[in-house]
């Protein structure tokens, strides 16, 4: 496995609502896209990839402890984005993959402080399985115990980047933002103190299988209205 220069403070450029057949929770994202709960009610999305066959164990997550609005599911959408586009809404803590003209897959995400620092359009320039994490020098100064990872922490269950990372590029250059997994499932749906865009490991494995390098990613910070 090759090492990356990924770091926690920059990592992961690095995602509607509880729904029933009688009540729909709608979400609007700025810049010409809107999403709402599927008219047929909650529709889970089958898993792509096999978390149980990974190089490292992927701990089972008790989804009962995660609000249903952050469970992977199909939602309805309208807007100008082409199928295959990823839309990140930091305000609602959701990531959308446009499937076709009327359907999107919605994932729950966690957003760290760095996740609010950059917005706009980029592309997936590289993908990695069980990526290496390298803490930046500023973080090592604050937490000297991290010095042992100055040369990089190999991928694994304790790695902050989780099972997968999608590296975001703009104009052919690495933005230093990533979409990645997390070993802290409780952070999904939350704004955390560090990191960028994080997903459940099983969700980032699923997303990794669905999107190729070159995929367009749009990050929007406007608060979605529901």
From 71, 77, 94, 196, active-site residue: 196
From 71, 77, 94, 180, active-site residue: 180
C-beta separation of 209 from 48 below 8 A: yes
C-beta separation of 32 from 187 below 8 A: no
SS3 for 170? strand
- 97, 179, 165, 59: CA torsion to nearest 10: -90
Catalytic annotation present for 28: no
What is the C-alpha to C-alpha distance for residues 69 and 19, in angstroms, rounded to an integer?
8
Straight-line distance from the first to the last Cα atom of the chain, in angstroms, rounded to the nearest whole number: 43
Q: Which of 207, 159, 155 is nearest to 179 (CA)?
A: 207
Catalytic annotation present for 196: yes
Q: Which residues are catalytic?
A: 180, 196
């Amino acid at each position: 496995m090759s090492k990356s220069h990924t770091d926690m403070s920059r990592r992961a450029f690095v995602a509607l609502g509880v729904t029933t057949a009688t009540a729909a929770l709608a979400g609007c994202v700025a810049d010409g896209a809107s999403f709402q709960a599927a008219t047929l009610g909650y529709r889970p999305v089958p898993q792509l990839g096999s978390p149980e066959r990974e190089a490292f164990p992927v701990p089972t997550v008790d989804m009962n402890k995660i609000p249903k609005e952050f469970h992977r599911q199909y939602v309805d959408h309208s807007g100008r984005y082409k199928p295959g586009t990823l839309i990140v809404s930091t305000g609602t803590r959701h990531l959308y993959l446009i499937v076709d003209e009327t359907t999107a897959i919605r994932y729950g995400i966690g957003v760290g402080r760095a996740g609010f620092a950059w917005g706009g359009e980029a592309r997936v320039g590289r993908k990695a399985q069980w990526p290496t994490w390298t803490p930046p020098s500023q973080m090592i100064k604050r937490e000297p115990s991290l010095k042992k990872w100055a040369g990089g922490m190999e991928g694994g269950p304790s790695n902050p980047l989780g099972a997968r990372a999608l590296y975001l590029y703009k104009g052919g250059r690495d933005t230093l933002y990533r979409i990645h997994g997390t070993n802290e499932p409780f952070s999904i749906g939350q704004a955390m103190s560090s990191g960028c865009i994080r997903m459940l490991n099983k969700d980032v494995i699923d997303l990794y299988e669905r999107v190729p390098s070159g995929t367009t990613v749009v990050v929007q910070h406007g608060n979605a209205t529901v």
